[in-house]
């Protein structure tokens, strides 16, 4: 029910943004995607305090009421509008699924799926990793808050750059390679709060920046806004698969023994390596766009 409610609420808003913003669509998506990171700067610490004081049932009810009160009154102000000519509106009333035959779409889809498979592990295990290193749950929540702030900046930056004639392929490689480097070095070798903090900043900025490029990936493979929005939904679906699979995969990667001196505190070694490998696989998939001059609709690729 939570997932269905999220979809019903989220996608009409995305559709409205897609209709109105054209030249600066990447920036618009970056702002929209980063807004969740704004709340993430305070929610981890707030939830930690609520759980300790009131317990799980009361905390969940408080979150539910807070969501209803903070979003419900804004719904009447959400109205779709478009700046496209009337003829173009008629032309795109039916989604053109021709982009499914564009090789570049499948290159992006593969890269996105690989990135999604590993993306969620740091946010899932950073607090427990901090506790394993003897840093306590409060510092673990603080690391998530730091990562959320960095995610906001990353999504704003990558969304803006994707509109400023920066190649989507270059931005994709930058995002995934920087994320892989941060995971395999900073996270895997971290033994202090300072190093974990630097990791949270670097990974949050570059890892989250990938999502902000979905808009321009869509316009690179589709000729109209309706089809580009459909491509955006499929990219979101691909990353959602990674979110679903993260739990079962991690269950088989975590080890029982802990050794804070070893790589990844030993218990998280396989998780760190898997996450970094997914980012490298995502980068490797994206490089396929350079092997052949794939004909794309957008000149921004």
pLDDT in tens, 11-23: 787 777 777 777 7
What's the rounded Cα separation, in Å, for the pair 283 and 214? 15
Q: Residue 132: how many CA atoms within 13 Å on its side-chain side?
A: 24
Q: How is residue 288 annotated by DSSP?
A: G
C-alpha separations of 191 from 225, 257, 265 in Å: 47, 16, 8
Using a 10 angstrom Cβ sphere, with 0-12 exposed, 13-18 middle and 19 or more buried, the burial of residue 83 is exposed
pLDDT in tens, 245-272: 888 888 889 888 889 899 999 999 999 9
Structure tokens at 276: 């970094």
- Domains in the chain: ranges and CATH: 2-82+102-289 (1.20.1250.20)
DSSP three-state, residue 257: coil
Predicted confidence at residue 204, as pLDDT, reads 94
Max Cα distance, the chain (Å)? 65
Residues of the chain whose pLDDT is less than 70?
Answer: 36-37, 40-41, 80-93, 292-301
Q: What is the pTM of this model?
A: 0.78
In degrees rounded to 5, what are phi and psi of residue 35? Answer: -60, -35
- Whether the CB-CB separation of 233 and 101 falls below 8 Å is answered with no
């Amino acid at each position: 029910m939570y997932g269905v409610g999220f979809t019903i609420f989220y996608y009409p808003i995305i559709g409205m943004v897609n209709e109105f913003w054209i030249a600066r669509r990447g920036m618009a998506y970056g702002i929209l995607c980063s807004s969740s990171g704004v709340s993430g700067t305070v929610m981890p610490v707030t939830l930690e305090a609520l759980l300790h004081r009131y317990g799980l049932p009361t905390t969940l009810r408080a979150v539910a009421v807070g969501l209803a009160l903070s979003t419900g009154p804004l719904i009447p102000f959400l109205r779709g509008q478009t700046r496209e000519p009337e003829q173009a509106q008629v032309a795109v009333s039916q989604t053109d699924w021709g982009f499914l035959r564009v090789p570049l779409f499948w290159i992006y889809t593969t890269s996105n799926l690989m990135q999604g498979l590993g993306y969620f592990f740091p946010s899932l295990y950073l607090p427990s990793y901090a506790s394993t290193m003897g840093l306590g749950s409060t510092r673990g929540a603080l690391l998530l808050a730091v990562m959320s702030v960095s995610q906001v900046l990353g999504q704003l930056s990558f969304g803006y750059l994707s509109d400023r004639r920066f190649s989507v392929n270059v931005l994709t490689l930058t995002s995934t390679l920087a994320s892989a480097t941060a995971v395999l070095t900073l996270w895997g070798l971290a033994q202090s709060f300072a190093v974990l903090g630097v990791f949270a900043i670097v990974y949050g900025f570059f890892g989250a920046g990938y999502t902000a490029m979905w808009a321009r990936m869509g316009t690179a493979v589709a000729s109209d806004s309706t089809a580009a929005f459909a491509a955006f939904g499929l990219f979101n679906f691909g990353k959602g698969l990674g979110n679903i699979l993260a739990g079962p995969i991690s269950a088989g990667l975590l080890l029982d023994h802990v050794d804070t001196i070893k790589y990844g505190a030993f218990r998280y070694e396989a998780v760190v390596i898997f996450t970094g490998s997914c980012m490298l696989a995502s980068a490797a998939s994206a490089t396929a766009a350079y092997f052949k001059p794939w004909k794309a609709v957008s000149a921004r690729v």
